[in-house]
Chain A
Amino acid sequence: DSGVTQTPKHLITATGQRVTLRCSPRSGDLSVYWYQQSLDQGLQFLIQYYNGEERAKGNILERFSAQQFPDLHSELNLSSLELGDSALYFCASSVEARRVTQYFGPGTRLLVL
């Protein structure tokens, strides 16, 4: 158990819909990262927050957005969902913002039908 929690574990929805994925970092960790993992693309970095502020942005689509709240939990919002958004979404956390050990949550498996 990494100490990072993600909910829900599984999510099935339809194209065009909007979903919210939630992540609670390890106690004491200030930085949260979101990743998307698909079979063909591997683990792709989406976005990073540090202490409530956006720190780095990766291959995140405009239809996707995220935020980190004062209690440090984070939410990833996915809208206008397409079939190709079906993937595993992982959250990771670390104490600091750069070049440090990340601890991954168990992931949310999203299936868009």
Chain B
Amino acid sequence: TQLLEQSPQFLSIQEGENLTVYCNSSSVFSSLQWYRQEPGEGPVLLVTVVTGGEVKKLKRLTFQFGDARKDSSLHITAAQTGDTGLYLCANTPLVFGKGTRLSVIA
């Protein structure tokens, strides 16, 4: 069974700072998705990456997929309070990491 490890588990930063969170797998991803989940709601898909080395940008969010397709990172530039939430990586569609809980403080 594939295991996804996300780090850090918790992250609290000031508005305007940059941050990176990581997702590492015990085996190769078929494809990798990043989700954001806000309190009381279901996860919402941010991006899907498929090709090793792929980089995708979504406004201030940059997603990178490792060359070997066993790891990924999510970088947020100039974090805003609206970025607060639980960030989950997943090997679509069935295996999820435990997430990084991000809190951005004004």
Q: Give residues of chain B (17-41) contacting chain A, Cβ–Cβ below 8 Å.
A: 30-31, 33, 40-41
| Interface 9-mer from B54-62, B77-85, B88-96 | B88-96
Q: Contact between B92 and A48 (Cβ–Cβ < 8 Å)?
A: no
Main SS at interface, chain B: loop
Task: Give bound CA distance, A35 to B35, whole Å.
Answer: 15
Report the Cα distance A7→B56, complex, angstroms.
35
Closest residue of A by beta carbon distance from B93:
A102
- Closest-CB distance, B87 to chain A (whole angstroms): 12
**A106 touching B42, Cβ below 8 Å:** yes
CB–CB B93/A99 < 8 A: yes
> Does chain B have a CB within 8 A of A45?
yes
Cα distance A41–B43 when bound, in Å? 16
Q: Is the CB of A107 within 8 A of B93?
A: no
Knowing A48-B94, A58-B94, A106-B40 are in contact, say whether A99-B45 is a contact too (CB < 8 A): no
| B33, B45, B48, B94 — most chain A CB neighbours (10 Å) | B94
Tell me if B44 counts as interface (CB < 8 A to partner A).
yes
26 A-B residue contacts at CB 8 Å?
A2-B44, A4-B42, A35-B96, A42-B97, A43-B90, A43-B98, A43-B99, A48-B94, A56-B94, A58-B94, A90-B43, A92-B42, A92-B93, A94-B93, A101-B45, A102-B45, A102-B92, A102-B93, A103-B45, A104-B42, A104-B43, A104-B44, A105-B42, A106-B41, A107-B40, A107-B41
On B, residues with C-beta under 8 Å from A are 30-31, 33, 40-45, 48, 88, 90, 92-99
